[in-house]
Each structure stands twice: as C-alpha cells, then as structure tokens.
Chain A
Amino acid sequence: MAEFEPKIVAFVCNWCTYAGADLTGTSRIKYASNVRILRFPCTGRIDYMLLLKAFDEGADGIIVSGCHPNDCHYTSGNFHARRRWIMFRSLCDFTGIDTRRIKFSWVSAAEGAKWADIVNTTVASIRELGPYTEYKIVANNPVKEVSHG
C-alpha cells in the first residue's frame, strides 16, 4: 500500500498568512504539498462550522492561521478569532475531537519561512497520527432507518 498522504486544509487570512504563503513560494522555499489553502478576508471570518465541515469532507488535519495580535488589517478580527478559538478548541477537546489535528498559528506576510515550517511540522505530525478514521467512520455512517410501526 502506498504511504499515507495526509489531507490538510489551511484556513488563512488574506492579509498576513496568505501573503506569507505567497512569500514562501516567491522565495522558492520547498514545503509539503499536502495543504489546500483557503483564503479568507480575516481570521474573524473563519467560522468554527467550517472547521467541522473540513473534517466532515475528509480532512486529516487543519491549519488556521492569520495576522499576529495587533497586526489585524481590520484592527480586531484576530482578537475576536482568538477568543472563539480558545472556547472552540476546549469544546472540541471535551467532545473528543482530536485537537492535535487542528493547528492554530500566527504567520505574518514577512514570515515565508515560518509558513513552510508550520506546514511541514503539521504534515509530519498528521502523518504520524494517521488518517482521521474516527471521524470518517462516523461521517460515513448511513442515516438510520426509522420505523414508525
């Protein structure tokens, strides 16, 4: 069997991490190709439901990344996002969702090397954890037949 290739979804903000990832490319830094980048206007727009849907659709890992605190293009989007992540991560942990598979980071537009590093370490750790079968089994369960008899 071929080696397991993790599917990683990255939710990034337009102003910092997306530009940072762009810099990684223009600097010709090589990094793992397992990541699918989704560009958002701001980390404040990254709804927790989107993360759940990513797992639902078969992601093995998730990266959420945006501007460093105080650097938000919209002044406070990342502060709001941070509060939400604190609570969401804790709830995920409580409900048994594997929080090791969700990586949160701040990557600025100047940190091309950091982006490559974040992706590489995430891919390596997810490769070690293996596919997220727990979630996939539940996601692929057929809908129960309900009898009204």
Chain B
Amino acid sequence: MDDLRKRAKELLETSAVKVVIGYEQGTANKTRALFVEKAEDADCLIFDSRCVQNLATYVTKREVKDKGKMAITATLPVMRSIIQLASEFQVNDNNLLVLGITPESKLVEFKNLSEVETFVHQYQIEIDAKNKEMLDKIAKMTQAERWKFWIDELSPCFKCYACRAACPMCYCHRCTVDFNQPQWIPVPSHELGNLEWHIMRAIHLTGRCIDCDACYNACPLAIPINLLTKRMLEDVKINFGSYQPSIKADHLMSTYKPDDKENFIQ
C-alpha cells in the first residue's frame, strides 16, 4: 500500500487534512488504529487482510474530530458506515475525506461523500453463508430452544461494552445503559439484563447496522451478538425493501409508510 502512504504524506504536507486515520502494526500479529498527524509518521500506515476493525468509529469521536479535517482509510464496510453516519449528520464533506480501498485492494480517493455513496451502491449487503446457516438453524428451533440458546449464549456477557465501543453507529454521548434514573438495564452480569442489553442494542441498530461484524470481532468472549443485528437486517429487507445506506434517506425506524404490512395486529 505504498500509494496509501504516499497520498497520506501529501495530504498532511499540504495541510489538506489534519489527521489520517489508518492501521498500523500492533502487538501479537494484530493491527490497530493509527492517527497520523505528521507527514513523516505516514510510513507506519499499513493495509492488509488483518485490518478488519471498523475505523468509522473514530470519526464521531470528539478527540479526533477536534483535530480538524480527517482522512480515513476505508474498506467497503467502513465506507458504508460513513454513508450511514452522513445520513445522520455526523460527518460531511467539510470534515471528512475518504481514502477508499476497494475489495480488490486498490486505493481510490473520493472527492466527496456522494461519490462514496455511488461506489458503495455497486455492492449489495450480503450475509455470509456461515452466518446465514446459523440464522436458519436458530429460526428452525422451537421457541423454548431459542430462549435457552440465547440465555446460554448471553449469560457469560459481563457488559464490558466492547461491542458498543467498536460500533460506528453507537456514538451517543450518553447511552441508555449509562443512565441510572431510571436504570433500564441492570448493571451486574445477569442473564436478563444481558438479554435486555443485547435486545436494546439490536433494536437501536435496526435499519442502521451495515453488517461489518465489528461488534462480534470486539467481543472478548466471541458471543455471536452479530446474529441479532443480522437478523434485523434480514427483517428490514423483508419488511421495508432492500437496505442500502444513503446520505439523503431518512432513518428507516423514524419514518413510515401508511401501507406497511404486518400480519399480527388485530
């Protein structure tokens, strides 16, 4: 990714951007986020198949935003997140430049976010075969089996909120779980509180989640919490048509159609 390093250097030298967000070599053969503010540091930037963290998480963070205009190394899921964030007025052309990396690992620079949108719309959001199989397996269970499955899966969760921290869409300054009057979600690790927290997370991400799996990758216990959001994504497709993040679109859950179809209301 020499061209990425070169371009980052140029951008910083000409002060076109103040910070370039990318990946660097971390410890134990892992990569981590890097914030380049000086042109000479741009050589630390890397990109390879290990770079799966969703960097869009950082563009809504105060401490990064306050540096000035940002440039971000963006893979396809990151670009999707950015478009969704743009539709929620969290980023715009004045504070973000996208250095896109295509699925073929080519660097493309976008002039503005609507170009990113056009690019992103070439690809459909597809749930991978392994997870699809898992979704079908759970759907085929009886209600009692599903209950047991999720209570068992979620019971080790100790609410470290790594899933929330890793998610680019969870940018609220105060999350519902941070409130204690009323205390919606019990704080200790308890099956019911855990279930409520994950239901809440999935509902808040309905129609916004772009299926990047950052939450699952961040989970220290590898709980398949991404299945909940994947299921919501499938339901959005079934009930409200295909889902693609778009800058101009209203958030799916804060809009409606008078002829939305359901079959359970008497």
Whether chain B is bound by chain A comes out as yes
A interface residues (Cβ-Cβ under 8 A, vs B) = 48-49, 52-53, 56, 69-70, 76, 79-80, 82-99, 103-106, 118, 134, 138-139, 141, 143-144, 146
Distance in angstroms from B127 CB to nearest chain A CB is 14
Q: What are 20 A-B residue pairs whose CB atoms fall within 8 Å in the complex? A: A79-B258, A80-B253, A80-B256, A82-B262, A82-B265, A83-B240, A83-B252, A85-B262, A91-B231, A91-B235, A94-B146, A95-B199, A95-B228, A96-B143, A99-B143, A99-B264, A104-B266, A106-B265, A138-B192, A144-B189
Residue from B150, B176, B189, B239 in contact with A87 in the complex, judged by beta carbons closer than 8 Å: B239
Q: Is the CB of A94 within 8 A of B264?
A: no
Does chain A have a CB within 8 A of B51? no
B interface residues (Cβ-Cβ under 8 A, vs A) = 138-139, 141, 143-151, 158, 176, 184, 188-192, 195-196, 198-200, 202-203, 206, 228, 231-232, 235-236, 239-240, 252-258, 260, 262, 264-266
Q: Which 5 A-B pairs have the closest CB atoms?
A: A96-B147, A96-B146, A79-B256, A105-B266, A104-B265
- With A91-B199, A95-B147, A95-B228 as given contacts, are A138 and B256 in contact (CB-CB < 8 Å)? no
Distance in angstroms from B172 CB to nearest chain A CB is 15
Q: Is the CB of A143 within 8 A of B188?
A: yes
Q: Is the CB of A96 within 8 A of B149?
A: yes
- With A48-B203, A87-B203, A87-B239 as given contacts, are A98 and B232 in contact (CB-CB < 8 Å)? no
Distance in angstroms from B241 CB to nearest chain A CB is 13
Q: Is the CB of A95 within 8 A of B258?
A: no
A144–B193 CA distance with the chains assembled, in angstroms: 12
Chain A residues whose CB sits within 8 angstroms of the CB of B191 once the complex forms = 138, 141
Please give 13 more A-B residue pairs, beta carbons under 8 A apart, in addition to A83-B253, A87-B239. A56-B196, A70-B258, A79-B257, A79-B260, A86-B235, A86-B262, A88-B203, A90-B231, A94-B139, A95-B150, A96-B148, A144-B190, A146-B189
Residue from A56, A70, A87, A144 in contact with B235 in the complex, judged by beta carbons closer than 8 Å: A87
* Interface SS, A side: helix
Q: Is the CB of A87 within 8 A of B144?
A: no
From A92, which residue of chain B is reached at the shortest CB distance? B199
Residue from A56, A82, A97 in contact with B260 in the complex, judged by beta carbons closer than 8 Å: A82
Q: Is the CB of A56 within 8 A of B192?
A: yes
A144–B50 CA distance with the chains assembled, in angstroms: 36
